[in-house]
Amino acid sequence: MNISDRVSVEYAGLRELFGVLRANGYQLVGPRLRDGAIIYDELVSISDLPAGWTDEQEGGKYRLREREDGALFGYAVGPHSWKKFLFPPVLREWQAQRTDSGLQFSKEPQKTPRYAFIGVRSCELHAMAVQDRIFMGEKFVDPVYAERRKNAFIVAVNCSQAGGTCFCVSMKTGPQARAGFDLALTEITEDGCHCFVIEVGTEAGAQVLRQIPHHRATEQDQRAAEQVVQRTAEQMGRVMDTVGIKELLYRNYEHPRWDEVASRCLTCANCTMVCPTCFCSTVEEVTDLTGEHAERWRKWDSCFHVNFSYVAGGSVRASTKSRYRQWMTHKLATWIDQFGTSGCVGCGRCITWCPVAIDITEEVRAIRETESLRASTLQPKGPIACKPSKK
Amino acid sequence: MLPKEFRVRRVRRETPDTFTVEIEAANGDQAFGFAPGQFNMLYAFGVGEIAISISGDPQAKSLMHTTRVVGTVTKGLGKLRPGDALGVRGPFGSSWPIERAAGCDVVVVAGGIGLAPLRGALYHLVSCRKELRRLVLLYGVRSPQDILYRRDLERWRNGGLQTFVTVDRATGSWLGHVGVVTSLIPHAPFDPVNAVVMVCGPEIMMRYTMLALQKRGVSEERIFLSMERNMKCAVGFCGHCQFGPEFICKDGPVFCYDRIKNWLGIREL
Amino acid sequence: MQTVEEMILKHPFWSGLNPQYFPLLQGCATSERFEAGQLIFQEGQEADHFFLIQTGQVRLYAFVPGRGSVTIQTVSAGAALGWSWLFPPYHWHFSAQANEVTELMAFDAKFLRDTSEANHDFGYELIKRVSSMLLQRLQETRLLLVDFYGFPR
């Protein structure tokens, strides 16, 4: 069995896959049904998966509905992303003790979990690659992220249906998983069969696959798998025109559309919490009552919080407009100069989970379409494309 | 990144709301080298961390940091006494382009506490005065009591630094310049074509300084400024210090004006 | 020792001025020297000269009962001093004192006014330069109002 080989596995074989991974010391995490949503949490067996469920997503709307088949992965992405495991929402960074001789700083004893991520979508693979560039950069590396990333075994899934707010096709991040996985499976639930066409991504993936019943995927199987992906690609809920998007946004920092979206935005920060690439964090000092013990905790943060940009004298981004503009221009424009790729992977979560259904694709379209109208009035020009900060 | 334990050598009150804390490594080691313009993250036990420019002589064994008292951490640091311990992470960030100074008319423009991040550069520039064509300091503060480092200013003046100090508000017997620091620029003694200008101060002061320098004919790639934003991690992970595409902690804090000039013009960036 | 003619030619205020006007300016200009602390003009006095500063430093101040003299701004070499000579009632609004040894070029204000009325080309050159300096001074004063170093407490 080599990399890029495709095999077919029956439902029972997939059940064994879970067992093999656990036997190899992996902690399985993947989609589960909880509180009316499909989230990511620990999986014990294949029956923990939300079989026979699907989601209906639109701007500001997320509902679950039962399917007619028993598909294990017949839904799109939910409010969680894998950054929850690689970049933990709450993390103790270090501890400090005050002694007679001074201060003692001690690192966190790291017991890095070995995760097996089950059901990673193509957009999510891209999101992980995007976060790799942040946390495992040229100059500084986050050891917690790097260790968890290195240890993770990834079982990707090619989406069999698009979510209502998806636009991975526009962002060129799916629906076909192309890289960054150990195994990538496409679920086939037609003509009475329930099987999986699995593509081998790495030697580690091949090793696991060899231990479960499988056979080489037939022409028919492979075609069926391709059709699943093709169908999904045609179902995209949204479109984002990315041509010249960085320059477009760089030119339009003073566009009146920002005021318009600001009149709707609640700065609730939902979008940043559900976004699989958002990486902002803050630190919090925690002490005990004796005053001898202190800890530094890292927590997820959001640029939508007014204190996020606080400097002596006040917050630089006090208005809602400036904060929404920061988030969107960072995600779609300055990210490119910072890290060489877009920060957006087209998963649609920010659209689904925004309580007022602000749609990032619509905002880009609105600016693009009304830019020429603006040019006729006296408006200051925004910055032209900057030199990238990284070489 | 774990903080290293350092000890307070001295805390000196500079002005009513500003103090300098001088620190050295707890184990007696030579403090790490730094380039003027860089900053440290100073940790007050149990209170928190704050980014402060290193403002001392790069040749000295101890490290100096001057700050205004603006919040809980700076208040905590201001309460430290000689021998007290604190945590230090650093040095971080980019530095002043003093290697470009040779043969040039070097102009340093400082506003208020902005003189602190420039102090290390001034030590160096005065020490190599012979290699420079001109060396000028334009320093503006609110009132005479806010003038920092009076002894250093005197020493530097004797070492060949042409010093012009101005106050916004004259009090007492002040017989020097009165007016905003930018008013010193039109007639300051330097050749704009040969200048290298280093600017630090409140962002609004720096913005108007840029205008005045450009009016004088200094080109944008010869002007450098030190920017400031909220900082938490200092290593480009937490996202707080972003200024357009730049991370102030690792792409800055010292920037060539040419690189960030368009971003400076955007309100609430 | 510079002649008045040389001083006029070199001062940045007259930079770019058509040389045909220099004899005119020479005719109404005198060079004056003030020691440190010497009064140049007082608030309320008749504003009969327009000054250009060659060297030194001048402080503009208002005398406030109870507070003494309050310095508003200082003006140094290369700058112009005084605008009240332009418009009636031609009285100085503030007082001016030399902070250090200061050399000034003083131009007869009435002569400048009369000449500008008679010769609009010259008048335009003069007013252009006066406006430019006024704008500079106004911007600097406005920036003082912004208060660079303060922030909300």
Q: CA A108, A109, A114 angle in degrees (round to 5)?
A: 110
Residues A249 and A224 in one domain: no
Task: For residue B68, give Cα distances in angstroms to A247, B90, C1.
Answer: 39, 20, 50
CA of C150 to nearest chain A CA: how many angstroms apart?
8
User: pLDDT tier at B1 (50, 70, 90 boundaries)?
Assistant: confident
In a domain, A239, yes or no: no
Rounded average pLDDT over A40-62: 96
Band of residue A382 on the pLDDT scale cut at 50, 70, 90? low
Q: B186 CB near a chain C CB, below 8 Å? A: yes
The pLDDT tens digits of the residues spanning B26-73 come to 887 766 789 999 999 999 999 999 999 999 888 888 999 999 999 999
Number of domains chain C is built from: 1
Hey, is the C-beta of A313 within 8 angstroms of any chain C C-beta? yes
CA dihedral (C146, C150, C151, C153) in degrees, to 10, reads -130
Nearest by CB to B178, from C71, C77, C147: name it. Answer: C71
Q: HEC states along chain C?
A: CCCHHHHHHHCHHHCCCCHHHHHHHHHHEEEEEECCCCEEECCCCECCEEEEEEECEEEEEEEECCCEEEEEEEEECCCEECCCCCCCCCECCCEEEECCCEEEEEEEHHHHHHHHHHCHHHHHHHHHHHHHHHHHHHHHHHHHHHCCCCCCC
Please give the average per-residue pLDDT across B96-123, as a whole number.
Answer: 96
Residue A240 lies in a domain: no
Of B39, C77, B67, the C-alpha closest to A312 is: B67
pLDDT score, position C1: 60
Distance (Å) of CA B180 to CA B123, B172, C102, C138 = 25, 18, 21, 11
CA distances to A263, A269, B219 from A266, rounded to whole Å, are 8, 8, 43
Minimal CA separation from A261 to chain B, in Å: 16
The shortest CB-CB distance from B46 to any of A291, A303, A309 is to: A291
In the predicted model, is pLDDT for residue A379 greater than 80?
Answer: no
Residues A86 and A20 in one domain: yes
- Estimate the crossing angle of helix A11-23 against helix A203-210, to 10 degrees: 110
Q: Is residue A382 part of a domain?
A: no
Cα dihedral sign, A142-B31-A285-A302: negative
Q: Which of C54, C74, C137, C144 to mutate to probe the B interface, most B CBs <10 Å?
A: C74
DSSP conformation class of B97? -
How many beta-carbon pairs below 8 A join chains A and B? 126
Distance, in angstroms, between B178 CA and closest chain C CA? 5
Per-residue pLDDT at A267? 97
Average pLDDT over chain C, rounded to whole? 92
**Prediction ipTM score:** 0.94
- Predicted pLDDT at A378: 45
Please indicate, yes or no, if residue A386 is contained in any of the structural domains. no
Say what the pLDDT of residue A387 is: 45
Interface probe, candidates A99, A108, A130, A253, chain B, greatest B C-beta count within 10 A: A253
Q: How many residue contacts between A and C have a Cβ separation below 8 Å? A: 5
Structure tokens at B16: 């009513």
Q: Is residue A101 part of a domain?
A: yes
Query: How many angstroms separate the Cα of A304 from the Cα of each of A26, A277, A310, A355?
Result: 36, 15, 12, 14
Distance from CA of C78 to the nearest CA of B (A): 6
Mean pLDDT throughout A31-46?
96
Residue A346 DSSP code? -
| Amino acid at residue number A257 | R
Q: Tell me the mean pLDDT in the region B75-99.
A: 95
Cβ pair C149:B168 closer than 8 A: yes
**For residue A211, what is the DSSP state?**
T
Is C4:C107 a contact under the CB 8 Å cutoff?
no
Q: State the nearest Cα–Cα gap between B211 and chain C, in angstroms.
A: 12
Total domains in chain A come to 2
Please state which CATH number belongs to domain B4-92.
Answer: 2.40.30.10
Domain that holds residue A332: 245-375
Domain positions in chain B are 4-92, 98-226
Distance from C-alpha of A40 to C-alpha of B107, rounded to nearest angstrom: 58
Structure tokens at C45: 């006095």
Confidence band for A170, pLDDT divided at 50, 70 and 90: very high
* Fold for the domain defined by B98-226: Rossmann fold (3.40.50)
Q: Does A327 reside within a domain?
A: yes
Examine residue C148 and state whether it is found in any structural domain, yes or no: no
Residue A377 confidence (pLDDT): 46
Residues in chain A with CB shorter than 8 Å from the CB of C152 are 313-314
Domain containing C14 — which CATH number? 2.60.120.10
Give the tens place of pLDDT for each residue, C57-99.
Answer: 999 999 888 888 899 999 999 899 999 999 999 999 999 999 9
Closest CB from A96, A106, A281 relative to B87 = A96
Which residue range(s) make up the domain with C19?
A: 4-142
Locate A74 and state its tokens: 């017949």
Q: Map tokens 């896959």 to a residue.
A: A17
Cα B224 from chain centre: 12
A319 shares a domain with A204:
no
pLDDT at C119 over 70: yes
Residue A79: is the preceding peptide bond cis (ω within 30°)? no
Q: Are residues A226 and A250 in the same domain?
A: no
Mean pLDDT across chain B, nearest whole number?
A: 95
pLDDT score for A391? 40
Please report residues of C whose CB lies closer than 8 A to that of A314: 151-152
Percent above pLDDT 90 for chain A: 89
> Cβ–Cβ of C152/A312 closer than 8 Å?
no
CB contact under 8 A, B186 and C136: yes
DSSP one-letter code for B26 = T
Check whether residue A252 and residue A223 sit in a common domain. no
Give C-chain residues touching B204 at CB under 8 angstroms: 146, 148
- Asked if pLDDT for residue A15 goes beyond 50, the answer is yes
| CA-to-CA separations, C150 to A309, B143, C145, C146, in angstroms, rounded | 19, 11, 10, 9
Q: How far is A109 from chain C (nearest CA, A)?
A: 43
In a domain, C153, yes or no: no
Paired sense of beta strands A215-216 and A195-200, if any: unpaired
Inspect the interface and report whether the beta carbons of C74 and B179 lie closer than 8 Å.
yes
Q: Closest Cα partner for B51 from B90, B82, B16?
A: B90
pLDDT reported for residue A380: 47
pLDDT score, position A185: 96
Nearest to A282 by CA among A269, A265, A264, A267: A269
Full-model pTM? 0.92
Exposure string over A128-154, b if 16+ CB within 10 A, otherwise e: bebbbbbbebeebebebbebbbeebbb
- Looking at the structure, tell me whether residues A326 and A205 fall in a common domain: no
Q: Give SS3 for B53.
A: strand
**Is A207 inside a domain boundary?**
yes
Q: What is the mean pLDDT of residues C131-151?
A: 90
**Are A227 and A98 in a shared domain?**
yes
Q: How far is B202 from chain C (nearest CA, A)?
A: 7
CA pseudo-torsion sign B187, B193, B194, B199? positive
What angle do the packed helices B203-216 and B257-264 form, to 10 degrees?
120
Q: Which of C77, C79, C148 comes nearest B205 by C-beta?
A: C148
- pLDDT above 50 for A196: yes
Which region among A119-128, A293-302, C70-79 has the lowest average model confidence (pLDDT)? C70-79
Confidence tier at A386 by pLDDT (50, 70, 90): very low
Q: In B, which residues are within 8 Å of A311 by CB distance?
A: 228-230
What is the per-residue pLDDT across A57-68, written as a single tens digit (0 to 9) for each?
Answer: 999 999 999 999
The answer as to whether C113 is a domain residue is yes
- Tell me what percent of the residues of chain B surpass a pLDDT of 70: 99
Residue C153 has pLDDT above 80, yes or no: no
Other chains touching B, judged by 3 or more CB pairs under 8 Å:
A, C
Residues of chain C found within 8 Å of residue B182, distances taken between Cβ atoms: 140, 143
| Residues facing residue A33 across a β-bridge | A38
Which residue type is seen at C81? L
Residue C17 lies in a domain: yes
Residues A296-324 have a mean pLDDT of: 95
